[in-house]
Chain A
Amino acid sequence: MRLGLVIDLDVCVGCHACAIACKEWNASGTIGPLSDYQPYGAEPSGVWFNRIRHFEMDEYPHNKTVNFPMSCMHCEDADCVTVCPTGASYKRAEDGIVLIDQDKCMGCNYCSWACPYGARELDRASGTMKKCTLCIDRIYDEQLPVEERQPACVLTCPAHARMFGDFDDPDSAVSRTVRERGGFPLMPELNYNPTNQYLPPRRKPVIEVQAKPKGGLKESIKQFANKLVRR
């Protein structure tokens, strides 16, 4: 299995629902709590596994606003694992999920420097690195209803812009959607082989219009003939 996410940039409205659901689940989850620094103070920040970037393309008035959620890509060739001096970072053979063993991690930050996607964060209170687990404590929890054995971000996304599944299975919904919609990985040139895929914006629908008016400005009113329409 190669588990990961598909994120649809055509419909992501940048609402941050996925980010907060992730925070909420994982705060009390397998590698929680997730520290919040200065929660009531000058510059609040904290540990997040999923952050939404917003940026613009092109110039006014042809500009486009793009919302871009980013979390661990669960790369096939994950440098964050290779560089880890303690062996805390590992990629699971059975499903490809990249995890950090909190008992082994010493919070040295090597992995976060190695990760080009900014997916790894140091929890300054626990002194360990933390990141997206694909909600491993949801997806394998057989006491949860089947339809809820999904990452919290996928469950909650109001625009249904997120999908979760097995990319090794060519018939899975994620594999099919990536094929049909031309899904792409982020920065493939770096050769980390990210599992997560993004769907590009769809082509704009084209609607034909009849250009020729039937009537002509003020005179139209005179041409409007009453039709016999019974209520």
Chain B
Amino acid sequence: MNAKIKLENHDAQEIKYTTCYMCACRCGIKVTLEDNKVRFIQGNRNHPTNQGVLCAKGSAGIMKQYSTAKLTQPLMRKPGTERGEGIYEPITWDQALDVLTERLEEIRATDPSKLAYFTGRDQMQALTGLWAQQFGTPNWAAHGGFCSVNMAAAGLYTIGFSFWEFGAPDWDYAKYFIMWGVAEDHSSNPIKIGLEKLKRRGGKFVTVNPVRTGYSAIADEWLPIKPGMDGLLAMSMVHVLLKHEQFDYEFLVRYTNASWLVVQTPGEKGDGLFLRDENGHPLIWDIEKEAFRNGMDGDIAPALFGEYVAPDGRRVKTVMSLVAERYLDARYAPENVALEVGLPAETIERIALEMAHVAFQETVELPIEWTDVWGRKHDKVVGRPVAMYAMRGISAHSNGFHACRAVHFIQMLLGALDAPGNFRARAPYPKPIPPHQLPENNIDIINAPNTPLSRPPLGFPTRPEDLVVDEFGNPLRIDKAYSWEVPIASHGMMHMVITNAANHDPYAIDTLILFMANMAWNSTMNTKNVQEMLRAKDPEEPDTYKIPFLVVIDAFHSEMTNFADLILPDTTYLERHDTISLLDRPISEPDAAADAIRYPLVKPDRDVRPWQEVMVELASRLKFPAFTNPDGSRKFSGYQDFIVNFERSPGVGFLAGWRGKDGTQSLKGEPNPRQWEKYIENQSFFAHHWPDNQKYMRYANKDYLDVAADVGFVGKVEPIIMQFYSEPLQKFRLAGMGLYDGPQPNNQVDRERLVKYFDPLPMWYEPLEQQRVDAKEYPFFALTQRPMFMYHSWDSQNVWLRQIMAQNYLYMNARRAAEMGIKDFDWVWVESHNGKIRCQVKTMEGTQEDTVWTWNAIGKQKGAWGLKPDASEATKGFLLNHLISELLPEKAGERRVTNSDPVTGQAAWFDLRVKIWKAAPGETGSWPQFDTLKPLPGDERYERPEVLRYDARSHEKK
């Protein structure tokens, strides 16, 4: 009956499974190939992440593979031309590697800190971090400092796991879900799958976001909050829960530090620290035994509230008393925050009480037996089915760390963590709070030539002694992470690297390596000025750039590659081997620890090499100890060999599946020479499904923690007690007050910041930039949203995705725009304290009235991405980035400080305020405009026809 229907020529096709890399979601994909061309990319039904579905980006992978922006060969800036002119000469890989090896050898043998290595959208930080550690430079980080560190740090200093990628809502049992801020950036398919499950079951979806697009479109209730007010809203909800006594008393006693005692000796050393016994254990007051007892023990009956006198005479209070005193204050009453957050008081109260109702009246109980870490058996698991998720919307504010902690307070009060229906941990989390990993800060080791760091460059400080500063308190890192200015910058501060390096502040570097990061365009603040910094030369040495040598590794021709002195062309994700490792940012789901690989499905048609492979090559040439045999020969023949045989600790390597000589061991075991083959046979992923008794309450689940300790997720089996009150923050605050027995800051700016912002309980403060910008002059908040069909996928031009959007607009609330005489498609000027741009407006209802916004990263520099100079991304599209400064506005008598969260160094993208006015008649097109990027050598291979007719079929007429 279907004679006329032409079906696939399956005989000419091959099916392979790998892992998507169109964004950070890392879905499993099933790829149909025909004649070495990609016919179809679909979701892998068996994959734990996406369970068969795939987003727009994933399906558009075909057009990434066939992008005409692909770099084709190694290139060197042409001698005699200036950086940024974009004039290059081809060199061979041998030449490129020789040049780079020689330069790196010299740096490593003299002053290893003169190498800075920062990476963007990569998912291989376990390898890049190891490489930097082995090189011996502290100047390494990925892009988390401008992405998600507020979420990661707030979680890891509070609950032991986190939003971002270390936890997920339990979509199978949740009955209430709150999404805080824009969250279309991570976990994209799991959240979409989950929202449908929730709604199908009749659960309620509440969204807190100044803008109603994306997932918020299908929310049952939209709370159009003013930007930057999330923390205040969360704290007001804490107020309501306390006022109504809606908290899980047992949960607080068992799993949090709510009962721990805090020393109350204001103005004295030791104030605000936990009362501890001689072994350092935190103490509680046992109401049965009427004695101070170890707060980690299992057989205690602690007072949750109360004030006591310690044996040494000091006054102490329980954490919960401090929490209640703080948040029951009228400051946090809904009626007193309503105006600031922009929501009616009754809405705030109602939402808090709805959550309480669902948590306590609609509890989920599963008949699963489990044993707690203190050895007691339980015959069921109790779930408070209120789930939450938050990402960029909270993260990108300078008050985001505290805001995110406040959201975790709601979860703790409701007892809604890692149990059925709420927010659950993803292996290898939860970890001790914070994780036991300190950043390298030994100046002798950092300065030692040809010597690896003794610890990774990044970690989780717990006290001033852990800062990465010299004896005078000056930063040892180029990005100033872990300095007094930003003590807990646990993801580094990539957004400060170019500025600091160009200013030689805190010191000059020699070589900057950037991998997969468009730091000359959409991934930097202050784009126009940052481009100037990349061009800047030393006035005293007119032949030397302030950043003397710039190496860029990318697969595509971006604005950043245009500034490189050396371009090393990478492969696409369908052309290389990769690991998505449990040592890094794993793809685990709450019910399974999981990791994955990529392997080449398509043969590169260009002279390109995977950066992984090049890193192993460089590590071998530079004779890093971990890559070199005792006799000086190279230890690994290449990346695949490295992945199989490198062990971080005995039995623990990059891939957790099919370990052991015979491939029968999971999570831990000897290297298996056939490990890659086993992954490929198993559709390129590995999942260790947790048995029911290890699925929940993992912060205190003995059977889970036994496994976690054995395979190295945690150091030992001990309860992970959640931290309402954060003692590490208090230690930094004491240092700011001059009350700390240990290092203290010299600079008044640092002292003030520590005292003000290192509150051990969450606090709300006006975002830092807004404290210095006149709200009357700049009446609008300005921010970006994440387009679901492009987010994290903008490292290349994509013929299909750009048909969905090739120009961004500035979106305004319709009524506000009308009041200003602004109509759809009017061109406007938008100005901040840092600069101005011209862009085109669209009005809409779904935008909070004081907010304007646009889609992130649509605007392009002419000629980038392999697009023609008249592409609308360049002529009409725009970046908000020009308006955002990486430094706070100047303040008299104060050094310039970073425009970041003062606790974590998270880039404060969303603190921006602007003014807007209509452009004069005839003023059209986006502004500023930049020189057109010149085609690179090798570009002549690309046709760029006026009509593209992609067809993967080998047997059809074209």
Query: What is the number of residues of chain B that contact chain A, defined by CB distance less than 8 Å?
Result: 120
**Contacts known (A28-B950, A39-B799, A226-B305); A218 close to B328, Cβ less than 8 A:** yes
Whether the Cβ atoms of B951 and A143 lie closer than 8 Å is: no
Question: Which segment, of B55-63, B81-89, B461-469, faces chain A?
Answer: B55-63
Question: Which chain B residues border A58 with CB–CB below 8 Å?
Answer: 845
> Nearest Cβ distance between residue B323 and chain A, in whole angstroms?
10
Question: Which segment, of A30-38, A112-120, A165-173, faces chain B?
Answer: A30-38
A189 within 8 A of B: no
> Nearest Cβ distance between residue B220 and chain A, in whole angstroms?
5
Which residues of chain B from 907 to 956 have any CB-CB distance to chain A below 8 Å in the complex? 944-953
Question: Which chain B residues border A45 with CB–CB below 8 Å?
Answer: 803
A207 within 8 A of B: yes
Whether the Cβ atoms of A65 and B250 lie closer than 8 Å is: no
> Nearest Cβ distance between residue B924 and chain A, in whole angstroms?
14
Question: Which chain B residues border A230 with CB–CB below 8 Å?
Answer: 288, 299-301
A106 within 8 A of B: no
Question: Which segment, of A71-79, A190-198, A208-216, faces chain B?
Answer: A208-216
A44 within 8 A of B: yes
Report Cα–Cα, A205/B217, bound state, in Å: 16
Question: Which chain A residues border B354 with CB–CB below 8 Å?
Answer: 207, 209
> Nearest Cβ distance between residue B724 and chain A, in whole angstroms?
15
Question: Which chain A residues border B139 with CB–CB below 8 Å?
Answer: none
Whether the Cβ atoms of A43 and B217 lie closer than 8 Å is: no
Secondary structure type dominating chain A contacts = loop
Closest to B53 in A: A158
Whether the Cβ atoms of A60 and B224 lie closer than 8 Å is: yes
Question: Which chain A residues border B788 with CB–CB below 8 Å?
Answer: 13-16
Question: Which chain B residues border A136 with CB–CB below 8 Å?
Answer: 2, 5
> Nearest Cβ distance between residue A151 and chain B, in whole angstroms?
12
Question: Which chain B residues border A43 with CB–CB below 8 Å?
Answer: 806, 872
Question: Which chain B residues border A217 with CB–CB below 8 Å?
Answer: 243, 328, 330, 333
B814 within 8 A of A: yes
Question: Which chain A residues border B202 with CB–CB below 8 Å?
Answer: 202, 205
B870 within 8 A of A: yes
Question: Which chain A residues border B6 with CB–CB below 8 Å?
Answer: 30, 137
| Residue in A36, A64, A156 whose beta carbon sits within 8 Å of that of B799 in the complex | A36
Question: Which chain A residues border B41 with CB–CB below 8 Å?
Answer: 24
B663 within 8 A of A: no
Whether the Cβ atoms of B806 and A229 lie closer than 8 Å is: no
Whether the Cβ atoms of B199 and A60 lie closer than 8 Å is: no
> Nearest Cβ distance between residue A203 and chain B, in whole angstroms?
9
Report Cα–Cα, A157/B52, bound state, in Å: 9
> Nearest Cβ distance between residue A13 and chain B, in whole angstroms?
5
**Contacts known (A21-B42, A230-B301); A65 close to B68, Cβ less than 8 A:** no
| Residue in A17, A28, A40, A207 whose beta carbon sits within 8 Å of that of B358 in the complex | A207
| Residue in B813, B866, B875 whose beta carbon sits within 8 Å of that of A40 in the complex | B866
Interface 1/0s, chain B 872-888, versus A by CB < 8 A?
Answer: 10010000000000000
Closest to B30 in A: A148
Question: Which chain B residues border A144 with CB–CB below 8 Å?
Answer: 8
Interface 1/0s, chain B 1-35, versus A by CB < 8 A?
Answer: 11011111010000000000000000000000010
Question: Which chain A residues border B287 with CB–CB below 8 Å?
Answer: 226, 228
Which residues of chain B from 188 to 210 have any CB-CB distance to chain A below 8 Å in the complex? 188-189, 192-193, 195-196, 199-200, 202-204
Whether the Cβ atoms of B56 and A19 lie closer than 8 Å is: yes
Report Cα–Cα, A66/B306, bound state, in Å: 52
> Nearest Cβ distance between residue A166 and chain B, in whole angstroms?
15
Whether the Cβ atoms of B40 and A28 lie closer than 8 Å is: yes
B566 within 8 A of A: no
Whether the Cβ atoms of B220 and A20 lie closer than 8 Å is: no
A82 within 8 A of B: no
Which residues of chain B from 171 to 194 have any CB-CB distance to chain A below 8 Å in the complex? 176, 188-189, 192-193
| Residue in A11, A36, A64, A143 whose beta carbon sits within 8 Å of that of B803 in the complex | A36
Question: Which chain B residues border A8 with CB–CB below 8 Å?
Answer: 196
Report Cα–Cα, A160/B868, bound state, in Å: 37
Report Cα–Cα, A207/B386, bound state, in Å: 13
Whether the Cβ atoms of B7 and A143 lie closer than 8 Å is: yes
Question: Which chain B residues border A155 with CB–CB below 8 Å?
Answer: 42-43, 52-53
B214 within 8 A of A: yes
A27 within 8 A of B: yes
Report Cα–Cα, A28/B12, bound state, in Å: 13
Whether the Cβ atoms of B215 and A13 lie closer than 8 Å is: yes
24 CB contacts below 8 A, A to B, read: A10-B199, A13-B218, A13-B788, A15-B192, A17-B58, A20-B60, A21-B42, A21-B54, A32-B951, A36-B950, A39-B944, A42-B868, A46-B948, A60-B845, A60-B846, A125-B947, A152-B40, A152-B42, A155-B43, A202-B202, A205-B202, A209-B353, A214-B245, A217-B243
Interface residues of B (CB under 8 A from A): 1-2, 4-8, 10, 34, 39-43, 45, 50, 52-60, 62, 68, 176, 188-189, 192-193, 195-196, 199-200, 202-204, 212-218, 220-222, 224, 242-245, 249-250, 253-254, 287-288, 297-306, 321, 324-325, 328-330, 333, 350, 353-354, 356-358, 374, 788-789, 797, 799-804, 806, 813-815, 844-847, 849, 866-868, 870-872, 875, 944-953, 958
Interface residues of A (CB under 8 A from B): 8, 10-17, 19-21, 23-25, 27-28, 30, 32-46, 48, 54, 56, 58-61, 63-67, 94, 101, 124-125, 136-137, 140-141, 143-144, 147-148, 152, 155-161, 201-202, 204-205, 207-211, 213-218, 220-221, 224-231
Task: Using A37-B946, A38-B946 as known contacts, list a sample of 17 further A-B pairs with CB atoms less than 8 Å apart, ordered by residue number in A.
Answer: A10-B218, A28-B39, A39-B948, A40-B68, A40-B799, A41-B870, A42-B875, A63-B845, A65-B846, A140-B7, A141-B7, A143-B8, A204-B220, A215-B243, A228-B287, A229-B304, A230-B300
A-B complex: 7 closest residue pairs judged by Cβ atoms:
A63-B845, A158-B192, A209-B353, A65-B217, A33-B949, A33-B951, A28-B952
